[in-house]
Amino acid sequence: MLTTDQARDRAADIVARAVRAGADAADAVYAADASTDVSVRLGVLEDVGRSEGEELGLRVFVGRRSSSVSTSDLASAGIDTLVERAIAMAREAPEDPWAGLAPADRLLHGAPPQLDLDDGGEVEPAELKALALEAEDAARAVSGVTNSEGGGASASRHVWALATSHGFAQGYATTGYGLSASVLAGEGAGMERDYAHHAARRRNHLDAPAEIGRRAGERAVARLNPGKVASGPMPVVFDPRVGASMLGHLIGAIGGQAITRKTSFLLDALGTEVFAPGVTVQDDPHRPNGLRSRPFDGEGLPVSPMTIVAEGMLETWLLDSASARQLGLEPTGHAARGGAGSPGVSSSNLYMENGLLPVATLIEDIGEGVYVTELIGQGVNGVTGDYSRGAAGFRIVGGEIAGPVAEFTIAGNLLAMFRQLTPANDLQFRYGINVPTLRVDGMTVAGG
């Protein structure tokens, strides 16, 4: 795998070739990754996988016309052919008045921030196998667990670089490690499944395998013999594992393309109260070891921590350069690039700040409600905000979490759900999107 400097130079080289061949402007992305995955089941090695790849993506501009191409053929002759094809395609493309590189005066200059995203480690398959076996063994040791879907462990390294024809060329590397266990409890038609998983940038930051396995086993056993929940309006409490999806819906609604295309239920919400006053949402690309940390965005702009929702008020859209130009605004440093195509937008380490209440206090006044630990299906309309998803979890009765329930639906509208949302004070940073336990009043629950 190339070093970050070599990756940067590789991206800069194809940009220079494109300009020499007649492009008015160009940018290029180089991406390489190598990963090893091991899976076990019932104490026996099931699979070992190794993947390696590298790709170059090139975007060229001829006036206001542009095209994007990508290749895994990195031989010099192949790259020259790719450049010629990209420029020919751009000359035939329709004009786009908003297309173009990011503003030159906004580019990141100097050394990028050091975010400690690459531990430089190599993990042998035998070590990954041992970790996966330990996690699965701990899960199977939980009383009530009767079968296993397996344990898994993975290690990867990724190198990414971006170069533009107007003065940007940088790269960075990340490592990633994952560990999981998934088991079943009960017998026959009454079996229930659950899992536990942890991911980290550094190997020594992973949870202990025994802890991951124990958590998976206890979750599966807790779901045995689910009952039915009554239908009607009631409070719904979201476990942090699934509550993070609320912020996913928010980000989808405030991305530049959704706003410019007028396909967002928050289209006219900028500067207005969209959550209750106690809710604040932050995006922090500089979080050390963060799963979504990055030193610059997909167009070469600097990134910085940003408040997206402040005490309930929506403070910003998330904009790449094209959508910013169309809206008459400035890009926000949230551009994201794949190997081919124009930039989109994405958040980095997104999280909702802690509320004031412990979880027990958050639910103590709920006479009848549900605590959701699993969401099923994708019944969310990003244009209207209508929300309807299958769910499983536990009843809340008299302010206490009671027995498991399954096969019910929760429904509402995200506009109302956001305003009725109350966060607890148990935030932990474990995922790319993190939230504390969330309570949403007034949702419609339909029992099976």
> Over the stretch 243-270, which tens digit does the pLDDT of each residue have?
999 999 999 999 999 999 999 999 999 9
pLDDT over threshold 90, residue 110: no
Query: pLDDT at position 111, please?
Result: 87
**Stretch 281-289: mean pLDDT, rounded?**
97
pLDDT over threshold 90, residue 429: yes
Where are the extended beta strands (E) located within 142-283?
145-164, 169-185, 192-200, 232-238, 281-283
Q: Which of 243, 178, 307 is nearest to 439 (CA)?
A: 243
- Helix H, strand E, coil C: the string for 56-88 is EEEEEEECCEEEEEEECCCCHHHHHHHHHHHHH
Cα–Cα distance for residue pair 365/48, rounded to 1 Å: 50
Paired sense of beta strands 44-62 and 65-71, if any: antiparallel
Cα–Cα distance for residue pair 280/32, rounded to 1 Å: 36
Query: pLDDT at position 377, please?
Result: 87
Mind listing the domains of the chain with CATH numbers?
4-221 (3.30.2290.10), 225-245+354-446 (no CATH), 253-347 (no CATH)
pLDDT over threshold 90, residue 413: yes
161 within 8 A of 167, measured Cβ to Cβ: no
In degrees, rounded to 5, the angle at the alpha carbon of residue 275 between the alpha carbons of residues 273 and 277 is 80
* DSSP 8-state assignment for residue 194: E
- Tens digits of residue pLDDT in 319-352: 999 999 999 999 999 999 887 778 999 999 999 9
φ and ψ of 413, to 5 deg: -130, 135
Query: pLDDT at position 339, please?
Result: 75
Q: Which of 333, 277, 287 is nearest to 310 (CA)?
A: 277
> Does residue 238 sit in helix, strand or coil?
strand
Give the sign of the dihedral formed by CA 276, CA 379, CA 179, CA 191.
positive
184 within 8 A of 166, measured Cβ to Cβ: no
* Contact residues for 303 (Cβ-Cβ < 8 A; gap 6+): 285, 286, 294, 295, 296, 297, 333, 334, 348
pLDDT-derived band at 120 (thresholds 50, 70, 90) equals confident
φ and ψ of 5, to 5 deg: -65, -40
Query: pLDDT at position 175, please?
Result: 97
Cα–Cα distance for residue pair 92/62, rounded to 1 Å: 10
Cα–Cα distance for residue pair 318/295, rounded to 1 Å: 17
Query: pLDDT at position 106, please?
Result: 94
Query: pLDDT at position 78, please?
Result: 87
Query: pLDDT at position 338, please?
Result: 81
Query: pLDDT at position 435, please?
Result: 98
**Stretch 178-198: mean pLDDT, rounded?**
96
pLDDT over threshold 90, residue 433: yes
**Stretch 150-169: mean pLDDT, rounded?**
97
Q: Of all residues in the chain, what percent carry a pLDDT higher than 70?
A: 100
Cα–Cα distance for residue pair 405/394, rounded to 1 Å: 5
Buried b (16+ CB within 10 A) or exposed e, 7-26: bbbbbbbbbebbeeeebbbb
Cα–Cα distance for residue pair 287/29, rounded to 1 Å: 23
pLDDT over threshold 70, residue 448: no
Cα–Cα distance for residue pair 49/152, rounded to 1 Å: 11
Average pLDDT over all residues of the chain? 96
